[in-house]
Amino acid sequence: MYEHTRRTRVVFVVLMLAAATVMTLDFRQRPDGPVERLQRVTLAVFGPVQRGVSTVLRPLGDAASAVTGGTARRDNERLRAEVERLRAAERGYQDLLTENERLRASIAMARRCGCRTVGAQVVARAGSTFQRSVTVDAGRAQGVGPDMAVLDGDGLVGRVLDASGGYASIRLLTDPTSGVAVTLAGSKAPGLLRGRGGRDLQLQMLHPNVGVAVGEPVVTRAYAGGVFPAGIPVGVVTAVGPAADGLVRTATVRPFADSDRLDVVAVVVASPRRPARRPSATPRATPRAAP
Amino acid sequence: MIGRAAILAAVIVVALTVETTLLAPVRLLGARPDLLLLAVVAVAMASGAGSAAAFGFAAGLAADLLLDLPVGVSALVYTAIGYAVGSARTYLASGRVLVPAGLAVGASLVAVWASGALLRLLDLSGFSWGFVARAGLAAALVNLVLTPAVYPLVRRLAERFVTGRVAHW
């Protein structure tokens, strides 16, 4: 027997219409629209919870992996407990050392591109099958805003999608909706790098008949209206596809940064200024004032 | 009523937090565990179609907002799944172990395939149809493994606060 009442059916229809309306609002909204503000509130609510849980889980995960691989015997409980305590302390120091090294590497990467950056810790990863993103513990309070580039010690990681007061959501390079303007480090040929959901990225060259070689590094390209600084290492070409109908050549790029093992990142909050153009040898004629 | 809403809201917060932290490294053929979906199925079996549709809407909206998905997609899919499972519960012998397992597999397939198809048709995702098909099967397997840990707990919580013989929202 059906349990449906008229009221239940009405509730269902109203909820489905509400979901469809929210989809439309999200699809058509302008920057800083109502749905985006709601996302920021959600980030602000969940961020501290996720950071707290991540902080607790990190040493537990380290300890669990150490215990499963340990060889301590049970012949002396007191000594064993003491050894475990010392090991736990050492793991804590090692954890701090590793974090410090990664942060230093991120800062070094940022210095190479002349950028001003803000360090941040990854506190959560996307829980969705159809999204590749992470949440970090730096937000608007630290100067982080949408579309800023995010690096780690190996290279470009992704871009800021949205930021609340103390947290930011980062869309990773590997997300299929991610696209980054790049150039081949050697030939300076421009291209567009897209995520595919997996580890590797797809490079589409902008001009036909451009030579692409396996092993060639790929770096970010600055362009008018773009937000990424130029020259940030992104990855290396691992395979070159055939030129489809002689139009656009594609290649597979393995990113330097391993998005599955992100821990500490740096958000580029200010890009270096581009060098001013040299004045031309022949000065322009000053336009005459209209009579 | 307020106590029930608070408990179910807490279920959403805990499920999303666990998914994004403790279960963060788990990814099988691109598919991630979906604790919220298992919670929607459990609420549907405990409380019926109306409550499950409302819970599915709230859970899907929270997931969309937090996980940076196009907002409304998960809300739409979870609402439909909650309503469907809640409507069919009178035909299912809830005492059998295979029922939650079958529901977890079926709901996972529908959730991933429907979400993937919706995202593809609206041109909001670059994932291929092949990925969507594989991810549905992988999600079903991952969620099946997690069902014994999630389903009984959420169902017990939802049943504890049910008022009346049959719950209608």
CB A269 within 8 A of CB A148: yes
Q: Which of A26-35, B114-123, B149-158 has the lowest mean pLDDT?
A: A26-35
Confidence of residue A47 (pLDDT cuts 50, 70, 90): confident
Residue A195: list chain B partners with CB under 8 A.
126
CB A219 within 8 A of CB A233: yes
Are the Cβ atoms of B67 and A128 closer than 8 angstroms? yes
pLDDT at A80 over 60: yes
ipTM: 0.83
Report pLDDT for A127: 66
Q: Do B20 and A57 touch (CB under 8 A)?
A: no
User: Given an 8 Å threshold on Cβ–Cβ distance, is A42 in contact with B22?
Assistant: no
pLDDT given for residue A4 in this prediction:
59
Of the candidates A254, A218, A228, A257, the one whose C-alpha atom is nearest the C-alpha of residue A239 is A254
Query: What's the token pair of residue A153?
Result: 């010690």
Contact A160, A227 (CB under 8 A): no
DSSP per residue, B123-153: T-----HHHHHHHHHHHHHHHHHHHHHHHHH
Q: Say whether B90 and A2 touch across the interface (CB within 8 A).
A: yes
Percent of chain A whose predicted confidence (pLDDT) is above 70:
68
- For residue A60, pLDDT over 80 is answered with no
Find all residues with CB under 8 Å of A185, minimum gap 6, and list them. A216, A217, A218, A219
**Domain contains B167:** no
- CB contact (8 A) between residue A23 and residue B19: no
Residue B115 pLDDT > 70: yes
| CATH number of the CATH domain containing B137 | 1.10.1760
Point out which residues pair with A121 in neighbouring strands: A264
Is B166 among the domain residues?
A: no
Q: How far off is chain A from B54, nearest CA to CA, in Å?
A: 7
List chain A residues with CB under 8 Å of B112. 129
The CB density around residue B114, as the number of other CB atoms within 10 Å, is: 19
Q: Specify the 3-state DSSP secondary structure of B19.
A: helix
For the ranges A47-61, A260-274, B45-59, the one whose mean pLDDT is highest: B45-59
Residues from chain A contacting residue B23 (CB–CB below 8 Å): 127
Residues contacting B164, CB < 8 A, separation 6+:
none
- The angle that helices B2-20 and B129-160 make with each other, rounded to 10 degrees, is 140
Contact across the interface for B87 and A162, Cβ inside 8 Å: no
Report whether B1 contacts A31 (CB < 8 A).
no
What separation in angstroms does the CA of A143 have from each of A211, A267, A286, B26?
40, 9, 42, 32
- Of the candidates A212, A93, A231, A71, the one whose C-alpha atom is nearest the C-alpha of residue A155 is A231
pLDDT per residue as tens digits for the range A180-224 = 888 888 788 888 888 887 788 888 888 777 778 888 888 888 776
**Residue B165 lies inside a defined structural domain of this protein:** no
| Mean pLDDT along residues B117-144 | 87
Mean pLDDT over each residue of chain A, to the nearest integer: 75
The per-residue pLDDT for range A87-115, each reduced to its tens digit, is 666 655 565 666 666 666 666 666 666 67
Give yes or no for B24 touching A (CB within 8 A).
yes
Radius of gyration of chain B (CA): 15
Q: Of how many residues is chain A composed? A: 291
Of A195, A161, A151, A174, the residue nearest A260 (C-alpha)? A174
Does the pLDDT value for residue A156 go beyond 60? yes
pLDDT tens digit string along A242-284? 765 556 788 889 998 888 778 888 888 876 655 444 444 333 4
Looking at this protein, which amino acid is placed at residue B147?
T
CA distance between the termini of chain A: 91
Nearest to B17 among A50, A194, A195 (CB): A50
How many structural domains are present in chain B?
Answer: 1
- The percent of residues above 90 in pLDDT, for chain A, comes to 5
Q: How many CA atoms lie within 13 A of A119 on its CB side?
A: 15
**CA of B30 vs chain A CAs: smallest distance (Å):** 6
**Mean pLDDT over residues B57-64, rounded?**
92
Whether A8 and B89 lie within 8 Å, measured CB to CB: no
Given this model, what pLDDT does residue B165 score?
44
Nearest to A18 among B32, B57, B112 (CB): B57
Q: Are B56 and B83 in contact (CB under 8 A)?
A: yes
pLDDT band at A58 (very low <50, low <70, confident <90, very high): low
Inter-chain contacts counted by CB atoms under 8 A, chains A and B: 171
pTM of the model: 0.75
Residues paired with residue A204 on neighbouring β-strands, in sequence order: A192, A250
Best of B14, B21, B73, B137 to mutate (most A CBs within 10 Å, chain A): B21
Report the mean per-residue pLDDT for chain B: 85
The pLDDT value recorded for residue A95 is 59
H or E segment and range at residue A250? strand A250-255
Cα atoms in the 13 Å half-sphere on the side-chain side of A220 = 27
Say yes or no for a CB contact (<8 Å) between B127 and A176.
Answer: yes
Q: Is A227 exposed, middle or buried (0-12, 13-18, 19+ CB in 10 A)?
A: middle
Rounded to the nearest angstrom, the minimum Cα separation between B97 and chain A is: 23
- Give the range of the structural domain holding residue B106, as residue numbers without chain letter: 2-160
Pairwise CA distance, residues B15 & B23, whole Å = 10
Instruction: Round to whole Å and give the CA distance between A274 and A20.
Output: 45
Burial (0-12, 13-18, 19+ Cβ within 10 Å), A234:
buried
Token output for B90? 């009178």
Cβ-count burial A14-42 (b if 16+ within 10 Å, e if not): ebbebbeebbeebeeeeeeeebbebbbeb
Q: Convert the pLDDT of each residue in A232-242 to its tens digit.
A: 888 889 888 77
Q: Are B74 and A14 in contact (CB under 8 A)?
A: no
Q: Give a yes or no: residue B154 inside a domain.
A: yes
From B120's Cα to the closest Cα of chain A, the distance in A is: 11
- Distance (Å, rounded) from C-alpha A39 to C-alpha A27? 14
Judged by CB atoms closer than 8 Å, whether chains meet at B72 and A19 is answered as yes
pLDDT at B141 over 90: yes
Q: What is the pLDDT of residue B85?
A: 92
With bands split at pLDDT 50, 70 and 90, how would you rate the model's confidence at B145?
very high
| pLDDT exceeds cutoff 60 at B24 | yes
Q: How far does Cα A82 stand from its chain's mean position?
A: 41
Nearest C-alpha in A relative to B25 = A260
Question: So what's the pLDDT on residue A287?
Answer: 38
What pLDDT does residue B2 have?
62
The two tokens of residue A226 are 């773009």
Residue with tokens 């994004």: B20
- Reply yes or no on whether the pLDDT at B79 is more than 50: yes
- DSSP for residue A140: G
| Residues of B in Cβ contact (< 8 Å) with A197 | 30, 126-127, 131
- Whether residues B70 and A23 touch (CB distance < 8 A) is answered with yes
Residue A289 pLDDT > 50, yes or no? no
- Chain A residues with CB under 8 Å of B21 CB are 50, 53-54, 57, 123-125
Angle at A108 (CA atoms; ends A104, A113), nearest 5 degrees: 150
* pLDDT confidence of residue A188: 82
For an interface test with B, which of A128, A132, A261, A262 has the most B Cβ atoms less than 10 Å from its Cβ? Answer: A128
